[in-house]
Structure 1
Amino acid sequence: MKLDNRSRLFVVLAGVFCTALVVGDIIGVKLFEVHLGPIVSVMSVGILLFPVTFVLTDTLNEFYGKQTARFVTWLGLAMALFAFTFIYLAMGLDWAPFTRAPDYRGTVEGSFNNVFGGSQRILMASMVAYLIGQFSDIALFHLLKRLTHNRQLWLRATGSTVVSQLVDTVVFQLIAWWGVVPLEGILGIVTTSYAVKLLVAVGLTPLIYAVHALVQRWLGMKPVLLGNNGEPLADSP
């Protein structure tokens, strides 16, 4: 079966999106410090994948529409659960007899479990925040697109991310740290984490325009245009 440009791009976007989500969840248990002047925030390294998912989500929204973006969101969740199911199955299998030597097993098994075991609470926080944040982003993106009559790409791309990432950050930090970190500490983490995401989103706005132009000119694809009722116009792809 020969794939057209539209199908090829969708496969690439969906594949990279799912990979970014799974990798972000696996590495997300590692925390690092971000210094914003006198303020120090503790953040998950999973934020490194945020620029990737930001661009991918808006590209899917723009060229494939709301239903496709929602489908990829559910697909990403399914792939993350698929990956972690087999990771935990692998962790439950007995090690080969020759690995039972204390020095070998203590080093290798401990490292394996630390790398792939992660934190159940962090994983749950990530998955819940991911779903709520993604669906908020998709809904607001299309609301802004309809209200601006398919103009002002920067507003719907950045505006939807500004709101959805605030929701994502609050949900994740509350689930991850409630009862572990004092409330004022959680609020501090939320504030600085969101500030970093906001700066990244604004800084990536030119890239969104570049990707938009590349897809239109190089692949010859047109974005989905919405009518006043919020539904795609008849001549939209």
Structure 2
Amino acid sequence: MNLDRRIQLFVVLAGVFITSLVVGDIIGVKLFEVKLGPVLAVMSVGMLPFPVTFLLTDILNEFYGKRVARFVTVVGFFMAVFAFAVITAAVQVPWAPMTQAAGYSGTVAGSFNNVFAGSQRILMASMVAYLVGQFVDIAVFNLLKRATHNRLLWLRATGSTVVSQLIDTAVVQYIAWTGVLPQKVIIQIILTSYAVKLLVAVGLTPLIYLGHAFVERKLGIAPVVLGEDGEPVNLTPPVAEAPPARAA
């Protein structure tokens, strides 16, 4: 198998994307506050990997097309399911008696379960919101790319995020915190998280152009050009393997 630059870049992008997704789900139980002028924003630390996933989604969409972006989305979803299954099993495994001793200084059942049992709900919420949000992001990105005739990178990158993250943020926060936090607090988390995501999306625009230039000029990989039917017109199909020679 020939690992050319296009395949190597795809493996790196997919690996970092899926890692960011799963880590963001696991750490999402922690909330923090940020002062945005007169507004006190309450957000989940699951926000930290958001700039990474946002940037990588757009690069995958731009250089590999919507089918590849959807494929990575589905793989990421099943990796989140796998993480959920492993965490569920880990919570159910009985603790060693030594961990209940008075002088034991390691991690105990209460602290472990408080974090990882709590993250199960976050994982479930994130899986649902992620799948819906990602497919919306990919669809809007390609719709804007086709409508602008492959121009205005900033518009499709930011525009797709504006739509998809509104859905993602609302779904994940409602599922994760309903019955745990007051409705007023949930709405505040949704509004502030979404506002921060929009600010991040705008702030990342220069990085998107830098990433686009690096992949295209340094790695020599051309972005996907969409035709009138919305399908890529400049991706070379894989060469079919020659059938084995018949014995004389």
TM-score, normalised relative to structure 1: 0.92
Q: How does 1:43-54 map to 2 (within 5 A)?
A: 43-54=43-54
Q: Does 1:156 align with 2:169?
A: no
Compared CA separation, residues 3 and 153, structure 1 to 2 (3 A): same
Q: Contact 1:26 / 1:118 at 8 angstroms: preserved in 2?
A: no
Cα offset for 1:95? Answer: 2.8
* In 2, Cα distance between equivalents of 1:132 and 1:51: 18
Q: Contact 2:91 / 2:113 at 8 angstroms: preserved in 1?
A: yes
* In 2, Cα distance between equivalents of 1:106 and 1:196: 37
Match of 1:59 in 2: 59
**Computing the radius of gyration over CA atoms, which structure comes out larger, 1 or 2?**
2
Output the amino acid matched with 1:78. F
Cα offset for 1:206? Answer: 0.3
TM-score, normalised relative to structure 2: 0.88
Q: How does 1:221-232 map to 2 (within 5 A)?
A: 221-232=221-232
Match of 1:172 in 2: 172
* In 1, Cα distance between equivalents of 2:232 and 2:154: 20
Q: How does 1:49-198 map to 2 (within 5 A)?
A: 49-104=49-104, 107-198=107-198
Q: Contact 1:129 / 1:172 at 8 angstroms: preserved in 2?
A: yes
Compared CA separation, residues 170 and 100, structure 1 to 2 (3 A): closer
Output the amino acid matched with 2:51. P
Residues 81-132 of structure 1: CA deviation (Å, up to 9, x unaligned)? 1122122212222233433424428952223223332243322221111111
SS in structure 1 at match of 2:29: coil
Q: How does 1:213-228 map to 2 (within 5 A)?
A: 213-228=213-228
Q: Contact 2:169 / 2:190 at 8 angstroms: preserved in 1?
A: yes
Residues 12-64 of structure 1: CA deviation (Å, up to 9, x unaligned)? 01100110011001100111112212211221100000000001000000011
Output the amino acid matched with 2:149. H
Q: Contact 1:125 / 1:172 at 8 angstroms: preserved in 2?
A: yes
> Which of the pair is proportionally richer in helix?
1
RMSD, aligned α-carbons: 1.9
Q: Contact 2:63 / 2:222 at 8 angstroms: preserved in 1?
A: yes
* In 2, Cα distance between equivalents of 1:20 and 1:106: 27
SS in structure 2 at match of 1:229: coil
Output the amino acid matched with 2:208. I
Over 6 Å off, 4+ runs? none
Number of corresponding residues:
236
